[in-house]
Amino acid sequence: MQKELITEKSSETQKLGEKMAKKMKGGEVVCLSGDLGAGKTTFAQGFLRGLGAEGPFVSPTFLIMKQYKIGRKKPFREIYHIDAYRVNAQNIIDLGWEEIVKNKNNIIIIEWAEKISEIIPQSALEVEFEWLDKNKRKIRFKNFKFLK
Ligand SMILES: Nc1ncnc2c1ncn2[C@@H]1O[C@H](COP(=O)(O)OP(=O)(O)OP(=O)(O)O)[C@@H](O)[C@H]1O
Ligand SMILES: [Mg+2]
């Protein structure tokens, strides 16, 4: 159950994020991995928009974790966008991870999730990003049914 897609501009990557967001039911953990500049934040911005989060969608690099609220129409209430590049699992636990991850009203999207792999649930959905050239990225959905 693996699907690879190639995007040729950042707006396409955002659209994929938006599309994935529409399939969320609540309680999902979405892990984004891949090198610097591979497109994780770009995808996350589309994902946040697709969930109806209120912008601006900033990169959480200097915040570690940014929380967004969403409208009442959705079954879920809060979205957490985490950038684990500069942190370790304990840092995220200290931000209240256990409570956040067990609450099915939450959706969590994590850049550099591999840095905190010890605390990522088995059920997490994985998306890998690969830089092909200036505007091309390969995006691999590992355990998520994705139709283009
Ligand atoms: N097809 C594409 N998909 C995504 N981003 C693209 C694409 N083509 C060009 N870009 C550009 O590549 C950059 C991707 O940066 P982005 O911040 O999303 O990467 P990142 O994986 O989050 O990096 P970091 O690990 O530093 O946080 C942006 O400047 C974006 O405009
Ligand atoms: Mg980023």
Ligand 1 atom closest to residue 137's alpha carbon, by position in its atom list:
1
Q: Whose CA is nearest to atom 24 of ligand 1?
A: 36
Taking a 5 Å cut-off on Cβ, the residues next to ion ligand 2 are 40-41, 111
109 Cα–ligand 1 center, Å: 16
Per-residue pLDDT tens digits for 3-62: 999 999 999 999 999 999 999 999 999 999 999 999 999 999 999 999 988 777 776 666
Count of other CB atoms within 10 angstroms of residue 98: 10
Ligand 1 atom closest to residue 139's alpha carbon, by position in its atom list:
3
pLDDT of amino acid 61: 60
pLDDT of amino acid 47: 96
pLDDT of amino acid 70: 82
Per-residue pLDDT tens digits for 48-85: 999 988 777 776 666 789 998 886 666 678 999 999 99
Q: Which residues line ligand 1 (CB under 6 A)?
A: 7-10, 12-13, 34, 36-42, 111, 129, 135-137
- Report yes or no: 80 and 109 within 8 Å, Cβ to Cβ: yes
The structure's pTM equals: 0.94
- List CB contacts of 63: < 8 A, sequence separation 6 or more: 83
> Does CATH place domain 3-141 in 3.30.70.2660?
no
Tell me which residue of 60, 78, 57, 58 sits closest to 69, measured CA to CA: 78
Alpha-carbon gap, residue 78 to 123, rounded angstroms: 19
**Single-letter code of the amino acid located at 12:** E
